[in-house]
């Protein structure tokens, strides 16, 4: 009997077509919507895009959100890289403890976390409580923690921490030098993956920013939704674009690294 390559079945085709329609329609719809004129509602003009590009609040909030993302990434890396390194090197018993910490954000979602943060830190100095660079970043590092941890953990598992450390130290390197010159280059892909996840989280985060009343990029997007229907479609597409870039960069790194990156959450 000759082996024939099986063909795609009818039911599989139907599932995939319906899935594709449900997922692509809102993207195509938003694109068409963004080309409509704000005055007449007719197609096609790029007025919405020029409105966005000339909007000061757009650039201002986007810059703020990008700054917050960079700050979150920097703090997360400084905080988690040495910890995960040390746990893999010296105290593997702590690993399950930290891994179970990483599950806690599931039971303490952003809406619960922000209620607690607002309560605990009310009355702390203005430079912390009153600024997004203080309060929001403190919260975003916690939101990024599970994704950072699992990325870094996979990265450290893939390298031989003990041999690298011993080799570095027997050549006379200090701890900081070992960490920055030997360990860090070897887990670069994992650190980058965690950073892109953190970027996607911060750029989309609405809950905490809204309840603590800071004007980040998603807040600007919501305000545009309420006031300017067609330009809002243009900002929405740009926001999707940012998520695409972050997630595809992540997938690209993941492909080279061989791991499968996963979800974030800006619901």
Q: By CB under 8 A, what part of segment 116-145 binds other proteins? A: 116-120, 138-139, 141-142, 145
Which of residues 26 and 50 has its CB atom nearest to other proteins in the complex?
26
Which of residues 30 and 215 has its CB atom nearest to other proteins in the complex?
30
Instruction: For residue 51, state whether it binds other proteins (rule: CB under 8 A).
Output: no
Stretch that binds other proteins, among 44-52, 98-106, 162-170, 183-191 (CB under 8 A): 98-106
Stretch that binds other proteins, among 53-61, 161-169, 180-188, 224-232 (CB under 8 A): 224-232
Instruction: For residue 187, state whether it binds other proteins (rule: CB under 8 A).
Output: no
Which of residues 141 and 154 has its CB atom nearest to other proteins in the complex?
141
Question: Minimum Å distance from CB 64 to other proteins?
Answer: 16
What part of residues 233-252 is at the interface with other proteins (CB under 8 A)? Answer: 233, 236, 239-240, 243-244, 246-248, 250-251
Chain-centroid distance of CA 170 in Å reads 38
User: Given candidates 218, 253, 257, 259, which one binds other proteins under the rule CB under 8 A?
Assistant: 218
Instruction: For residue 110, state whether it binds other proteins (rule: CB under 8 A).
Output: yes
Tokens 């989309």, residue?
204
Distance CA 156, CA 152 (A): 6
Distance CA 249, CA 256 (A): 11
User: Given candidates 49, 52, 105, 144, which one binds other proteins under the rule CB under 8 A?
Assistant: 105
Q: CB-based contacts of 140: which residues, under 8 Å, 6+ apart?
A: 68, 69, 72, 198, 201, 202, 205, 208
Instruction: For residue 66, state whether it binds other proteins (rule: CB under 8 A).
Output: no
Instruction: For residue 46, state whether it binds other proteins (rule: CB under 8 A).
Output: no
Question: Minimum Å distance from CB 70 to other proteins?
Answer: 18
Instruction: For residue 169, state whether it binds other proteins (rule: CB under 8 A).
Output: no
Instruction: For residue 177, state whether it binds other proteins (rule: CB under 8 A).
Output: no
Question: Minimum Å distance from CB 55 to other proteins?
Answer: 16
User: Given candidates 204, 253, 257, 259, which one binds other proteins under the rule CB under 8 A?
Assistant: 204
CB 260 within 8 A of CB 206: no
Chain-centroid distance of CA 15 in Å reads 30
Instruction: For residue 33, state whether it binds other proteins (rule: CB under 8 A).
Output: yes
Instruction: For residue 107, state whether it binds other proteins (rule: CB under 8 A).
Output: yes
Instruction: For residue 109, state whether it binds other proteins (rule: CB under 8 A).
Output: yes
Instruction: For residue 6, state whether it binds other proteins (rule: CB under 8 A).
Output: yes
């Amino acid at each position: 009997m000759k082996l024939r390559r099986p063909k795609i079945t009818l039911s599989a085709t139907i599932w995939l077509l319906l899935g594709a329609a449900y997922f692509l329609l809102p993207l195509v719809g938003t694109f068409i919507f963004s080309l409509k004129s704000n005055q007449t509602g007719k197609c096609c003009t790029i007025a919405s895009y020029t409105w966005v590009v000339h909007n000061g609040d757009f650039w201002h909030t986007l810059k703020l959100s990008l700054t917050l993302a960079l700050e979150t990434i920097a703090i997360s890396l400084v905080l988690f890289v040495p910890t995960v390194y040390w746990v893999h090197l010296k105290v593997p018993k702590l690993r399950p403890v930290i891994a179970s910490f990483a599950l806690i954000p599931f039971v303490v979602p952003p809406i619960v976390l922000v209620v607690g943060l607002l309560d605990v830190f009310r009355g702390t100095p203005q430079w912390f409580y009153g600024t997004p660079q203080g309060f929001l970043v403190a919260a975003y590092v916690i939101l990024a923690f599970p994704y950072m941890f699992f990325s870094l953990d996979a990265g450290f598992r893939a390298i031989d921490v003990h041999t690298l450390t011993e080799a570095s130290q027997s050549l006379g390197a200090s701890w900081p030098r070992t960490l920055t010159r030997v360990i860090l280059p070897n887990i670069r892909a994992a650190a980058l993956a965690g950073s892109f996840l953190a970027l996607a989280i911060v750029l989309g985060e609405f809950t905490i920013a809204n309840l603590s009343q800071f004007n980040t990029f998603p807040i600007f997007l919501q305000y545009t939704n309420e006031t300017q229907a067609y330009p809002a479609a243009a900002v929405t597409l740009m926001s999707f674009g940012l998520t695409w870039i972050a997630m595809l960069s992540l997938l690209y790194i993941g492909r080279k690294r061989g791991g499968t990156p996963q979800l974030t959450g800006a619901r």
